[in-house]
Amino acid sequence: MTKKLDSGIIKYEFKKKLEALEKMKGRGTELITLYIPPDKNIADISNQLRSELSQASNIKSKQTRKAVMDGLEAILQRLKYFKKPPKHGMVVISGNVEFNGTEKRITEIIEPPEPVPLYKYHCDSTFYLEPLKEMLMEKKVYGLIVIDRREATVGLLRGKRIEVLNYVTSMVPGKHRAGGQSSVRFERLRNIAIHEFYKKVGERASEALLPHLDNMLGVIIGGPSPTKEEFHEGEYLHHELQRRIINLFDVSYTDESGLYELVEKAKDELTELDLIREKKLMERFLHEVSRDGLSAYGEEEIRRYISLGAVDTLLLSEDLRYERIKYSCPVCGKKREITVREGVVNPPKCEKDKVDMNEIERRDIVLELTELAEGTGAKVEFLSTESEEGSMLLNAFGGIAAILRFKPE
């Protein structure tokens, strides 16, 4: 398994885990979340939890008191197996949860893909997941500015998302002067207004972008000529942003739609970004679809092409939530495989014996197809619905598609 694919699978499973935890609710403030950084001493944590256990005995509600104390006891038992936290630390959750109509007690240890940033003990009716969700966010960003003499829009390109941060309008008069003004005086006043507008945009853009400086890979500016060149050469941005300017691009719009146009124009400069990678993959796939060429989509067709070794690149949606289940008839032993939405438990009936079939295996379809594709040497790419292309893969093609090596007869 390549490092890139391994990273994609880890992210996919981590995202699914957080989605499941987010759905879990407690009856009161009895769900415990414990964040343990990698450098925290386990013995110190155990002592602090024993102190929490002592204080929990004062909780008025008998039901909540018992639930919290049981949760703390369960966590203390789990911590006995650790001399020190794992490489990235860990998050321990415990409590009685209502999930899919039933109540059960869970105690789990989560080892996140990035270091746990804080020590925190939290009790509530839901698990505290915000620091874990932040680990799924793309950290590296590009600053975006589109500008003409009427308006400017400032934004961020973060992974697969474009975020609008600020919008500025100008008071620059048009090129035609009012009656009674000399052309020289009018031009001088207009140039002053342009300078003041550029200065205002530079200040607003700097205020919006400087908080992201540590993770900023560069700044891209778009707009008509000569506006963008004047803004760039006039050095209206903070010097730390000014020196991060990568390139200037001609764009037709300077509102929010202009930010999207700018990213499209700059895609050759942004080849390492997931958004651009996904755009190029889907462009290649759609090109093959349009000419009825080396493309396929839909689960059954993809399975067939994988088995024939015809898949070059398998495209999977990160938001695909299906499972592949193997069943067996308890009477005749006949086997059957079906794909169902995640969590479905209704077994099919054997067509011959009219009895419910027994489940013998249940697998996540994304992980199963990834394993099958890898076995044939195919590349696997995960696309998220945060991008337009990723949404198209899920909504128009069912979340499963492929670019083929060859088209079997």
- For 181-195, give the secondary structure using H, E and C: CCHHHHHHHHHHHHH
Using one digit for the tens of pLDDT, what is the confidence trace for 22-39?
999 888 888 999 999 999
Give residue limits of the domains in the chain: 20-134, 141-175+193-272, 277-404
Q: How far apart are CA 198 and CA 230, in angstroms?
A: 9
The string of DSSP codes covering 69-135 is HHHHHHHHHHHTT-SS--TT-EEEEEEEEEETTEEEEEEEEE--SS-----EEEEESS---HHHHHT
CA distances for 382 relative to 11, 57, 317, 367, angstroms: 10, 48, 6, 11
Contacts made by residues 352-357, CB under 8 angstroms, sequence distance 24+: 353/329, 355/329, 355/330, 355/331, 357/327, 357/328, 357/329, 357/330
- Report whether pLDDT(178) > 60: no
Q: How far apart are CA 300 and CA 303, in angstroms?
A: 5
Identify whether the C-beta of residue 244 lies closer than 8 Å to the C-beta of residue 216.
yes
Q: b/e for 157-176, b at 16 or more Cβ within 10 A?
A: bbbbebeebbebebebeeee
The pLDDT > 70 percentage for the chain reads: 95
Interhelix angle for 62-79 vs 42-56, to 10°? 160
Q: Is 378 left (phi over 0), alpha (psi -120 to 50) or beta?
A: beta
For the chain, the average pLDDT equals 90
Identify whether the C-beta of residue 9 lies closer than 8 Å to the C-beta of residue 67.
no
Sign of the Cα torsion 108, 121, 132, 30 reads: positive
Using one digit for the tens of pLDDT, what is the confidence trace for 181-199?
667 776 788 888 899 999 9
**Confidence class for position 236, pLDDT limits 50, 70, 90:** very high
Q: Does the reported pTM lie above 0.75?
A: no
Q: How far apart are CA 152 and CA 170, in angstroms?
A: 8
Nearest partner of 259 among 392, 138, 158, judged by Cα:
158
Q: How much is the average pLDDT of 242-261?
A: 95
Number of H helices, E strands in the chain: 12, 16
- Report whether pLDDT(2) > 80: no
In CATH terms, 277-404 corresponds, of 3.10.129.10, 3.40.50.300, 3.30.1330.30, 3.40.1390.10, to: 3.30.1330.30
Q: How much is the average pLDDT of 160-175?
A: 85
What is the pLDDT at residue 29? 84
Distance of CA 277 to the CA centre of its chain: 15
Nearest partner of 273 among 263, 261, 282, judged by Cα:
263
| Level-2 CATH architecture, domain 141-175+193-272 | 2-Layer Sandwich (3.30)
CA distances for 345 relative to 33, 98, 212, 280, angstroms: 29, 17, 46, 38
Using one digit for the tens of pLDDT, what is the confidence trace for 348-379?
999 999 999 999 999 999 999 999 999 999 99
Q: How much is the average pLDDT of 278-295?
A: 92
**Confidence class for position 8, pLDDT limits 50, 70, 90:** confident
Residue with tokens 């124009």: 265
According to DSSP, the β-strands at 141-147 and 216-222 are parallel
What is the pLDDT at residue 77? 94
Using one digit for the tens of pLDDT, what is the confidence trace for 313-325?
999 999 999 999 9
More confident position, 203 or 140: 203
According to DSSP, the β-strands at 400-404 and 358-364 are unpaired
Q: How much is the average pLDDT of 44-61?
A: 89
| Level-2 CATH architecture, domain 20-134 | 2-Layer Sandwich (3.30)
- Report whether pLDDT(5) > 80: no
Q: b/e for 239-272, b at 16 or more Cβ within 10 A?
A: eebeebbeebbebebbeeebbbbbbebbeebbee
The string of DSSP codes covering 240-283 is HHHTTEEEEE--S--SHHHHHHHHHHTGGG-TTSHHHHHHHHHH
